[in-house]
C-alpha cells in the first residue's frame, strides 16, 4: 500500500500577521481621555433631538458607537473617509508609480492586493499616513519625488501600522472627538454672534449690553473645557504615537525595507528647515525626529548583519 502525504499548509510570515502591539494598547489612552467629554457633548446634542424623537440617551449613544464601526469597512474608507481627509484616487501615472513599490511590499508579506487601499493627498511635502484599518494615504509630492525603493520603504512603514493595529484606537478617538469638536465650534460661533449683536444693537442700552456680555461669557466658559479636553487628548495621543512609529520602523526592517525607509527619512531631514522645538511643539507632533528614526533603523540593520 502506498501512503498519501498530508497536504502542507503555506505558512504566512510572522511579520505579515496582524497582531496587537503594545502601541495599539497605549493608543487607547486618548480615547479614554476624551470619553467623558464625548458623553457630555453627546448628551447636550441629544437634548434637542429627544424633543422630536423620543429615544433614550443610552440607545442614542450606542447608535453613535455602532455607526463608528462602519468607518472600518474598506469601501467606506475609500469612498467617505479618504475624501474627508482631502485624499483622492491615484491618477493613471500615480497608479503606475505606486503599483511597482506597493506590489513589492505586499509580496514580501504575502498579502492579497485587495486588502488595503491606496489614496493620494495633493500636498507639497514628503508624507504618508495610515488610517482606519485598510487605508494608506501618500502625498502626491512623495510619489513624484521618491525613487521606487524609497517609496516602497514608506509604504511598508504605513502597512506596519495596520499590521500592528496602531490605527484602530486612533480612529476610535477621532470618532469620539467629533461631537466634542462640533459642540465647541457651535459654542464659539454663538459667542461671536452674541458679541456682534451686543456691539451692534445694544450699544444704547446698558442692560442689553450687560446681558449680551453675560451670554458671551457663558458660551465661552462652556466651550473652553471641551477644547481643553481635546487638546489634552491630542497631546496624549502624540506622546504614545511616537512609540508606534518606532515599532513600525522595527517591522519595516524585518520586512527588508529598512535601508530604503532610512534613505527616505534622510530626504526629510535635508528638506526640513532645522529649528529647535519647544516643549509645546514636541507635544503637538506625533512623530519623533527623522534623525532619531534613522539612527534607530541603522542600529537595527547593524544588529541583523551576520
Q: Let me know if residue 4 belongs to a domain.
A: no
User: What CA–CA distance (Å, rounded) separates 173 from 79?
Assistant: 21
Q: Let me know if residue 16 belongs to a domain.
A: no
Q: Let me know if residue 59 belongs to a domain.
A: yes
Domain that holds residue 152: 21-271+278-304
User: What CA–CA distance (Å, rounded) separates 243 from 250?
Assistant: 11
Residue 272 has a pLDDT of: 62
> For 206-239, how does the pLDDT look when each residue is reduced to its tens digit (9 = 90+)?
665 665 566 666 666 666 676 677 777 677 677 7
> For 16-50, how does the pLDDT look when each residue is reduced to its tens digit (9 = 90+)?
566 667 777 777 778 888 888 888 889 988 988 88
Q: Let me know if residue 5 belongs to a domain.
A: no
Residue 16 has a pLDDT of: 52
Q: Let me know if residue 41 belongs to a domain.
A: yes
Q: Let me know if residue 10 belongs to a domain.
A: no
Is residue 166 scored above 80 in pLDDT? yes
Query: For residue 11, what pLDDT band results from cuts at 50, 70 and 90?
Result: very low
Q: Let me know if residue 8 belongs to a domain.
A: no
Count the domains in the chain. 1
**Residue 175 corresponds to which cell in the numbers above?**
470618532
> For 172-211, how does the pLDDT look when each residue is reduced to its tens digit (9 = 90+)?
888 888 888 887 777 666 666 666 666 665 556 666 566 5
Amino acid at each position: 500500500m502506498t501512503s498519501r502525504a498530508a497536504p502542507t499548509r503555506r505558512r504566512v510570515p510572522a511579520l505579515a500577521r496582524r497582531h496587537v502591539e503594545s502601541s495599539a494598547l497605549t493608543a487607547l489612552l486618548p480615547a479614554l481621555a476624551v470619553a467623558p467629554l464625548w458623553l457630555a457633548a453627546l448628551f447636550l446634542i441629544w437634548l434637542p433631538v429627544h424633543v422630536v424623537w423620543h429615544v433614550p440617551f443610552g440607545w442614542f449613544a450606542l447608535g453613535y458607537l455602532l455607526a463608528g464601526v462602519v468607518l472600518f469597512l474598506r469601501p467606506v474608507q475609500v469612498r467617505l473617509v479618504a475624501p474627508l481627509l482631502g485624499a483622492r484616487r491615484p491618477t493613471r501615472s500615480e497608479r503606475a508609480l505606486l503599483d511597482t513599490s506597493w506590489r513589492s511590499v505586499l509580496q514580501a508579506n504575502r498579502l492579497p492586493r485587495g486588502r488595503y487601499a491606496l489614496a493620494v493627498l495633493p500636498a507639497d511635502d514628503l508624507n504618508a499616513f495610515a488610517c482606519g484599518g485598510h487605508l494608506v494615504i501618500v502625498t502626491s509630492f512623495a510619489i513624484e519625488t521618491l525613487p521606487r525603493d524609497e517609496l516602497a520603504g514608506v509604504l511598508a512603514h504605513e502597512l506596519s501600522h495596520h499590521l500592528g493595529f496602531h490605527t484602530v484606537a486612533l480612529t476610535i478617538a477621532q470618532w469620539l472627538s467629533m461631537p466634542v469638536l462640533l459642540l465647541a465650534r457651535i459654542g464659539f460661533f454663538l459667542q461671536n454672534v452674541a458679541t456682534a449683536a451686543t456691539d451692534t444693537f445694544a450699544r444704547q442700552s446698558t442692560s442689553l449690553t450687560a446681558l449680551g456680555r453675560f451670554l458671551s461669557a457663558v458660551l465661552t466658559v462652556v466651550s473652553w473645557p471641551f477644547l481643553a479636553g481635546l487638546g489634552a487628548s491630542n497631546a496624549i495621543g502624540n506622546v504614545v504615537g511616537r512609540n508606534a512609529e518606532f515599532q513600525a520602523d522595527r517591522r519595516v526592517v524585518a520586512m527588508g525595507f529598512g535601508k530604503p525607509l532610512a534613505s527616505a527619512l534622510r530626504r526629510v531631514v535635508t528638506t526640513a528647515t532645522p529649528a529647535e522645538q519647544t516643549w509645546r511643539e514636541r507635544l503637538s507632533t506625533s512623530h519623533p525626529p527623522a534623525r532619531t528614526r534613522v539612527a534607530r533603523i541603522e542600529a537595527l540593520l547593524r544588529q541583523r548583519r551576520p
